[in-house]
């Protein structure tokens, strides 16, 4: 049942999760939060994050997901910029 550390590292490195797949997954999660709260993520982030209203499990996760989405998106475009010679 439980993997050893070596097995675990091997399993993780065997997966081939692409940056695009990660962006799609995070985007899907953002969409689910938007549907649930009837609020767009950018509005949520501007209005709620950094205020006491953020202190709920969903909102903390939503904010993390939102930041991670943009961080991953940014990395994709910086990589594409390098490979296409765009500075």
Partner 1 sequence: MLYDSHQQRLIDNRCWLIYDLITEKCRPLHQFHIEFPSLAELSLISGYLQVHVEISRSGHSLYINEEYDFVEHMLVVKVYSYNLLDRSRHNIIRADSLSHHQVDYKGHKLSHFPDHLHDEKGRICSFTGKIEDFLERASKIIESEVQD
List of residues contacting partner 1 (CB under 8 A): 1-3, 5, 8-9, 11-12, 14-15, 17, 19, 22, 25-26, 52, 54-55, 57, 60-61, 63-65, 67-69, 71-72, 75, 79
**Ramachandran class of 50: left when φ > 0, alpha when ψ lies in -120 to 50, beta otherwise:** left
Q: Which is nearer to partner 1, 40 or 61 (CB)?
A: 61
The answer to whether the Cα torsion of 45, 25, 3, 12 is positive or negative is negative
Q: Which is nearer to partner 1, 39 or 68 (CB)?
A: 68
Q: Which is nearer to partner 1, 12 or 47 (CB)?
A: 12
> Minimum Å distance from CB 26 to partner 1?
6
> Minimum Å distance from CB 40 to partner 1?
20
Q: Which of 56, 63, 73, 76 is nearest to 30 (CA)?
A: 63
Check: CB of residue 27 under 8 Å from CB of residue 62: no
């Amino acid at each position: 049942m439980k993997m050893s550390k070596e097995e675990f590292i091997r399993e993780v490195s065997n997966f081939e999760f692409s940056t695009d797949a990660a962006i799609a997954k995070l985007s899907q999660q953002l969409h689910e939060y938007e549907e649930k709260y009837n609020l767009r993520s950018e509005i949520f982030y501007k209005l709620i994050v950094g205020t006491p209203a953020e202190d709920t499990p969903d909102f903390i996760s939503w904010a993390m997901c939102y930041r991670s989405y943009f961080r991953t998106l940014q990395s994709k475009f910086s990589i594409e910029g390098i490979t296409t010679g765009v500075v």
